[in-house]
Amino acid sequence: MNSSYWILITHIFSLFPIGVFFWSWKIRKDIHSIFMILNFIFCVLFSMFYHNHDIDGIPYNNSDYDIWILLDSQKSTSLILTTGLYISRIRDPYFYNFAYIANVITLILSLFKLPNFTTYYLILHLFINIIIKWRTIYRYLIKFKIISFLTITSGIIATICYYTANKYNFKQYIFYHSLWHLFIFFTAGFGSILRYKLDQELYPILSQRDTLDSI
């Protein structure tokens, strides 16, 4: 099999965070989780259409390449920020307001092709998020040390892989960008588990079926 297919195959690891979101919705009826599932589905879809262009043998239209670059880069950045809001347990209505603002700002930066400003905005947004929700982050680190370690480690490795991928030739780009997919999905998955476990501890909801009186 052509090794470049791995850049598509690694999208399957998105099922990890999507599965956590679904479980959170199933147990806690957390509507934020449904919002995240939809965002992940569209992001993965855009990313796969974009990366089709990296694989020989898959027919595609070169005229739409710039469109998929825009959709992939904008949605990926927006989703990182939205996932950060989700993991840090931003409450309604601020969660949706901040997610919308992040989506619009990343769209504007992508349209004007300002990748450096996008990086600065990403860092600033996540930094402010951490400062505002430092108590939640502190609880994660104290109560769930192993999962917190896995979340942070995955995030660091994902960042290294992303920037490393853009420094080498095509073959190495495929390798490191595939690892980026793997570890960024791990980061989202482990981080979402942190949210679920803390919510269950602070506001426990037990999974149980209603008793049916009819035959």
Contact (CB, 8 A) for 81 and 125: yes
pLDDT(210) > 60: no
214 falls within a domain: no
Share of the chain above pLDDT 70, in %: 91
39 falls within a domain: yes
Residue with token string 């430092």: 134
Q: CA-CA distance, 40 to 16, in Å (whole number)? A: 11
212 falls within a domain: no
83 falls within a domain: yes
DSSP 29: -
Residue 215 has a pLDDT of 45
Please report, for the domain that includes residue 120, its CATH number.
1.20.1070
51: containing domain: 3-202
41 falls within a domain: yes
211 falls within a domain: no
Angle, CA 80 vertex, CA 79 and CA 86 arms, to 5°: 85
Residue with token string 């930066």: 109
Count how many domains the chain has.
Answer: 1
Which whole number is the average pLDDT over 114-130?
A: 95
Rg (CA), the chain: 19
213 falls within a domain: no
103 falls within a domain: yes
Q: CA-CA distance, 32 to 190, in Å (whole number)? A: 17
Which whole number is the average pLDDT over 146-170?
A: 94
Q: Locate 78 and state its tokens.
A: 């927006």
The per-residue pLDDT for range 28-84, each reduced to its tens digit, is 999 999 999 999 999 999 999 999 888 876 766 666 888 999 999 999 999 999 999
